[in-house]
């Protein structure tokens, strides 16, 4: 190990000595399985509307029909095709999940970098904000906020962001503080680089792998929270399809028409597992261990 390092991965290892000698070069089988699951979900959601029907179309002559060739996932109490609704529900869930994970990651990254670069009261303020946020359970915060302001797209995304930005912040902040203190960064400063230059040339490239890992975990928790809100009737409102809401509406018929709740429930499981596996794979690739073991996820 040299004192002046230019390899970002080595900088990470220097900051956290219990890390294995070198990360793997691939995301592993689990990572690929996760990526494949996600690809299937995303492609289905994107391409489904081109081929399937109207998720709001009701057919009172075909209510509560079990899965068949005509309706692969069966129909619900209004005769709507459950497959079509699962596909369209996926568009809603993925859109909300993606937007909130991007915003949460951007917010967490920005605050973490600001804290690392400026230190002092900026870092302390960001840290306290994160502490306060962690003290409030996401689901409780979401229920309170959505009860007051209603449940359109923006408030839902806002509560999901509030519930997940802290993870990115904490992960990036610890790493960024270590990098800022690294001697090669000191050398850059001595050579005349300003804060912006350090951030652009050293910090951001250094935290990108971590950011990718944190993003998948953020997305996974956002998806689960969004589904929970839908289940509680606080998310996307009927008749627009939403996975959590569909599970809730099919719950009373779980013994007589299990397909109404089962398929949207499976969609949530598959997507969440896909995100988690991909997150673990990325963690293996860039950080050197599964996300849970590296303290990136709870």
Q: How far apart are CA 106 and CA 169, in angstroms?
A: 9
Residues 6-45 close enough to bind other proteins by CB under 8 A: 20, 24, 28-31, 33-34
Cβ at position 269, least distance to other proteins in Å = 5
Distance, in Å, from the CA atom of 68 to the CA atom of 283, rounded to the nearest integer, reads 41
Using the minimum distance from each CB to other proteins, give the nearer residue, 115 or 264: 264
Binding letters toward other proteins, positions 166-205, x by CB under 8 A: ----------------------------------------
Instruction: Report how far Cα 21 is from the mean position of its chain's Cα atoms.
Output: 28
55, 90, 230, 290: residue in contact with other proteins (rule CB under 8 A): 290
- How many angstroms separate the CA atoms of 127 and 176, rounded? 14
Q: Give residue 89's Cα distance to chain centre.
A: 17
- Judged by CB under 8 A, the residue of 97, 126, 276, 282 near other proteins is 276
Closest CA to 230 of 90, 101, 104: 90
Among 83, 94, 262, 267, binds other proteins (CB under 8 A): 262
Find the part of the chain contacting other proteins (CB under 8 A) among 75-83, 116-124, 181-189, 197-205.
75-83
User: How far apart are the C-alpha atoms of 223 and 231, rounded to whole Å?
Assistant: 12
Please tell me whether residue 139 binds other proteins under the rule CB under 8 A.
no
219 is a site residue for other proteins (CB under 8 A): no
Instruction: Assess contact for 290 and 284: CB atoms under 8 A.
Output: yes
Distance of CA 68 to the CA centre of its chain: 34
Number of H helices, E strands in the chain: 11, 0
Asked if 292 touches other proteins (CB under 8 A), the answer is yes
Contacts of 198 (CB under 8 A, 6+ apart): 117, 180, 185, 188, 189
Task: For residue 66, give the 3-state DSSP assignment.
Answer: coil
Q: How far is the CB of 5 from other proteins (least distance, A)?
A: 22
Q: Which residue, among 7, 195, 201, has the nearest Cα to 115 in the 3D structure?
A: 195
259 within 8 A of 252, measured Cβ to Cβ: no
- Based on CB atoms, which residue is closest to other proteins, 31 or 115? 31
56, 95, 102, 178: residue in contact with other proteins (rule CB under 8 A)? 56
Interface segment toward other proteins; rule CB under 8 A; list 106-114, 147-155, 186-194, 196-204: 147-155
Asked if residue 235 lies in contact with residue 245, where contact means CB atoms within 8 angstroms, the answer is yes
The DSSP element (H or E) to which 152 belongs, if any, is none
CA–CA distance, 280 with 133 (Å, rounded to integer): 25
Rounded to a whole number of angstroms, the minimum distance from the CB of residue 122 to other proteins is 35
Check binding of 64 to other proteins (CB under 8 A).
yes
Region of 118-126, 154-162, 170-178, 237-245 interacting with other proteins (CB under 8 A):
237-245
Residue 92 near other proteins by CB under 8 A: no
Q: Pick from 124, 183, 293, 295: which binds other proteins (CB under 8 A)? A: 293
The site for other proteins (CB under 8 A) is made up of 20, 24, 28-31, 33-34, 56, 58, 60, 63-64, 77-79, 147, 150-151, 233, 237-239, 248-249, 251-256, 258, 262, 265-266, 269-270, 273, 276-277, 280-281, 284, 288-290, 292-293
């Amino acid at each position: 190990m040299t004192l002046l390092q230019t390899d970002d991965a080595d900088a990470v290892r220097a900051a956290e000595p219990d890390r294995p000698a070198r990360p793997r070069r691939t995301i592993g089988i689990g990572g690929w399985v996760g990526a494949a699951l996600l690809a299937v979900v995303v492609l289905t959601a994107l391409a489904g509307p081109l081929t399937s029907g109207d998720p709001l179309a009701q057919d009172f002559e075909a209510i509560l029909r079990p899965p068949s060739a005509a309706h692969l996932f069966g129909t619900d109490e209004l005769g709507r095709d459950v497959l079509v609704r699962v596909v369209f529900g996926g568009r809603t869930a993925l859109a909300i999940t993606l937007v909130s994970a991007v915003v949460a990651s951007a917010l967490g990254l920005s605050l973490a970098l600001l804290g690392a670069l400026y230190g002092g009261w900026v870092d302390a303020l960001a840290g306290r904000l994160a502490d306060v946020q962690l003290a409030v359970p996401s689901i409780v915060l979401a229920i309170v906020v959505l009860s007051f302001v209603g449940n359109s797209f923006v408030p839902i995304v806002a509560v999901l962001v509030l519930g997940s930005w802290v993870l990115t912040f904490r992960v990036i902040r610890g790493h960024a503080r270590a990098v800022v203190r690294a001697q090669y960064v000191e050398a850059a400063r001595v050579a005349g680089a300003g804060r912006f230059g350090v951030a652009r040339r050293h910090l951001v490239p250094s935290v990108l792998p971590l950011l990718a890992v944190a993003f998948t975990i953020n997305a996974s928790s956002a998806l689960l929270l969004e589904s929970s809100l839908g289940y509680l009737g606080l998310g996307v409102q009927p008749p627009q399809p939403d996975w959590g809401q569909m599970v809730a509406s099919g719950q009373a018929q779980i013994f007589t028409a299990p397909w109404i709740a089962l398929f949207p429930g499976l969609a949530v499981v598959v997507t969440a597992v896909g995100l988690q596996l991909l997150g673990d794979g990325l963690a293996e690739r860039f950080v050197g261990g599964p996300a849970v073991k590296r303290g990136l996820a709870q």
